Structure 1
Amino acid sequence: MSGYPATGGAARPSPGVHPGAERVNDPLRTAFAAVHGGRPEGIWAAPGRVNLIGEHTDYNDGFALPVALAQTTRLAARRRTDGRLRLHSAQAGGPVVDLAVADLAPGAVTTWAAYPAGVVWALGEAGHREVDDGADLHFDSTVPAGAGLSSSAALECAVARAYDDLYGLGLGPPALARIAQRAENAFAGVPCGVMDQMASSCCVAGAALHLDVRAGSHEHVPFGPGAAGLRLLIIDTRVTHDLGDGAYAALRTGCERACALLGLAALRDLSPDHLPRAERMLPARLRPLVRHVVTENARVAEAVAHLKAGRVAELGPILNSAHASLRDDYRISCAETDLAVDSAVAAGALGARITGGGFGGSVIALVAADRVEPMGAAVTAAFRGAGYREPHLIPVTAAPGARRIE
């Protein structure tokens, strides 16, 4: 007997296609049938993200300004009734990962499957026990893994949104983002803040997401550089990173230690005016971390003011300042990302910086539309000259967050 509802079965109501769903003849249905047999109940998508400004501020209760990307993780899903969670990824390949929902626990899954399985676990832990029945899931993604573009958050938010629709949980995008963050923190073991998941879940087309982590609030700020004759480009250095390797956790621990020494709830509570005095109270190894977070929060406020006033070009110097801070104070850059920034700016970019968790990944560059190709050629030539792998250039379009597409 199969573990999923038969077509036309009356055991459960069909979730149907939500109003506004993007009806397409999606080949993901064919792939799902090849892996799991039969048809999925629907298809969902969640985007990667690129952060304009506000790096490593989210776990310090601060501010960030991400944009959702057109690149997405897509998910075909179908409910089961036997308590099995069966996962397959077009990118990972290999056999179906077959798990018992009842056995899900932090540390029980160590492959890519920890991210989607963690969402199911987190939903159950939050009291949504209907997810215990299981599901068949098949993923396909255009979000580059390890590029600092939040491929893990896209995976998590696609699952969260699909489950919200399939089971009628009514959680809404911010709550789903928190579920996804808990999956990554507690189940996959990555102590990230909530910015990635909020961007993937809550963004709207044509806007950046001004996120206030402590307040749990967000605002959509118009972001359309094309109207100003500009483009935002991602330069994927193809240096992959793994935020679960301990370096990211060490940064967060350092920030928490600084807060304890300063008597603060979070570094968000330290103003730029009081930074010099705070630095004198800290051991040398913690001062640069605090300096970055405090100045980065100020850069977010400045960037939001420029965007609201239609001064997109003014983001350029802010990006340059942020990269210097991430390179020299937070120390998460590397030779490839530094070369991408330096060569992009030398070729006419208004500004550029490393983006994402760091230790590789991607750089963003703000550039005039007529300088896109010359800048790309200059960066590529610089990488070839240094003996590095050729970078990938990805144009940024501010896209919507997690949604049902069929």
Structure 2
Amino acid sequence: MNTLVAAFEEAYGRAPQGVWRAPGRVNLIGEHTDYNDGLVLPFALAQGVSVAAARRDDGVLELRSLQAAADGRSLPIDGLAPGTVDGWAAYPAGVAWVLREHGAGGASLLVDSDLPQGAGLASSAALECATALALCDLYGLEIERAELARRARRAEAEFAGVPCGIMDQSAALLCTAGHALLLDCRSGLSGQVPLRLGEDLSLLVVDTRAAHALTGGEYARRRAECEQAAALLGLDSLRDVTDLASTLERLPAVQSRPSLPFRRRSGQTGPDPATLRRRVQHVVTENHRVEATVGLLRADALAEIGGMLTASHLSLRDQFEVSWPQADATVEAALRAGARGGRMVGGGFGGSVLVLTATDRATHVREAIDAAYQARGWPAPHYQDAVPSQGAHRIL
């Protein structure tokens, strides 16, 4: 923090009025359910994004980052509009654009992060939420945190052009230390679920170093497929599916493709009924896995959720088709080495994997994953322990 304050003073010639921090997140389970009005269970990481800020009265938003020193921006608040800002700056600029409606104005911001970008750990939402807290404090805006999460999501979806759900921003703002956040993405209701690792169990985040970009077409295509399936079924969203078997039968029947041993690509330009059935099956069963995982955590049976994590990964790989080779190899190697379970996290097509393992097996699990990467000629993955931590807050 002292480094950030000193860098702010050097960059802007004055001290910041405060420093705010928002965490990255790992979604324990519940992937691609958020934009389907479903259930998610994220928790906050110790790593995150910090923003030092000071108010400006000239209507200018100045944006600088220690991770992108050559890419500073100076933007008129009144000129902010979707499509006018690109790159990393679109996320804080989008927040300023949204909060302009509430009376926020100009500010000087300096960003620092110890959260890897492109690792599927919601670095963009962390940046948005740290910026949102900063602007709210600088301008005396009183916005309830669940509503502020919705505002930050709007910034990402409408201003930055990423068709995201509400999970990442809610996790950044609402999570508490030692807990996961059970979030109902339809009602907006949330609750804290104990996530006690103790000394015997560890959650390991494996950054596969296959970066993803959710502004690409595949993520948007999955969302569109879910919306199309719901429309064909006459439902508002896939959350409304109550009987999976009969629902799948209602979609036009076509011969399903043969099961392949691993990741597969259809090469199709549009979804056929078999594709839509796979998407529906993942979303509905993933919601059930969230509920089952919550039950186990509340029963203090964390060691038993490994099967849920692995089932989630297989569904994301085979039914939703958003996994990638490094993620599949990571999960396979971890399980062979004795891990209790693992799955890809985030939107897919790159990013990180979450592994649950006995602490005394963690080193062996890492070695097995490293060996799998080395055998395939891939760059070695990065590891970090995932400790359920507190949500966004002011640190200075």
TM-score normalized with structure 2 length: 0.93
TM superposition shift of 1:34: 1.6
Aligned to 1:237: 208
SS at match of 2:87: coil
For 1:271-282, list aligned pairs within 5 A: 271=242, 274-282=243-251
For 1:119-268, list aligned pairs within 5 A: 119-124=95-100, 127-129=101-103, 131-132=104-105, 134-226=106-198, 229-268=200-239
TM superposition shift of 1:95: 4.4
Aligned residues: 375
Quote the Cα distance in structure 1 between the aligned partners of 2:248 and 2:170. Answer: 31
Quote the Cα distance in structure 2 between the aligned partners of 1:383 and 1:234. Answer: 16
State yes or no: 1:372 paired with 2:344.
Answer: no
Aligned to 1:92: 68
CA offsets 1:99-129 (integer angstroms, 9 cap, x no match): 01000000000111000000010112xx312
1:279 is matched by which residue type in structure 2? L
Structure 1 gaps of 5+ residues are: 1-24
Quote the Cα distance in structure 1 between the aligned partners of 2:197 and 2:87. Answer: 38
State yes or no: 1:303 paired with 2:289.
Answer: no
CA offsets 1:8-36 (integer angstroms, 9 cap, x no match): xxxxxxxxxxxxxxxxx622110111211
Give the one of 336, 339, 351 matched to 1:346: 336
For 1:6-25, list aligned pairs within 5 A: none
Quote the Cα distance in structure 2 between the aligned partners of 1:269 and 1:138. Answer: 43
CA offsets 1:262-300 (integer angstroms, 9 cap, x no match): 1111111112xx212211222122111110000000000
SS at match of 2:327: helix
State yes or no: 1:327 paired with 2:317.
Answer: yes
Quote the Cα distance in structure 1 between the aligned partners of 2:144 and 2:382. Answer: 34
1:258 is matched by which residue type in structure 2? A
Using the TM superposition, name which of 86-95 and 239-248 deviates more: 86-95
State yes or no: 1:101 paired with 2:72.
Answer: no
State yes or no: 1:402 paired with 2:392.
Answer: yes
Over the residues paired in the alignment, what is the CA RMSD in angstroms?
Answer: 0.9
Structure 2 gaps of 5+ residues are: 252-272
1:208 is matched by which residue type in structure 2? A
1:192 is matched by which residue type in structure 2? C
Quote the Cα distance in structure 1 between the aligned partners of 2:70 and 2:146. Answer: 33
Aligned to 2:29: 53
SS at match of 1:146: coil
State yes or no: 1:80 paired with 2:56.
Answer: yes
SS at match of 2:94: helix
Quote the Cα distance in structure 2 between the aligned partners of 1:193 and 1:215. Answer: 13
Using the TM superposition, name which of 385-394 and 92-101 deviates more: 92-101
2:122 is matched by which residue type in structure 1? S
TM superposition shift of 1:172: 2.4
Paired-residue identity, % = 52
Aligned to 1:286: 276
State yes or no: 1:39 paired with 2:15.
Answer: yes
State yes or no: 1:113 paired with 2:89.
Answer: yes
Quote the Cα distance in structure 2 between the aligned partners of 1:74 and 1:278. Answer: 46
Give the one of 47, 63, 74 matched to 1:71: 47
State yes or no: 1:381 paired with 2:355.
Answer: no
Give the one of 336, 346, 369 matched to 1:356: 346
Quote the Cα distance in structure 2 between the aligned partners of 1:352 and 1:95. Answer: 37
TM superposition shift of 1:163: 1.4
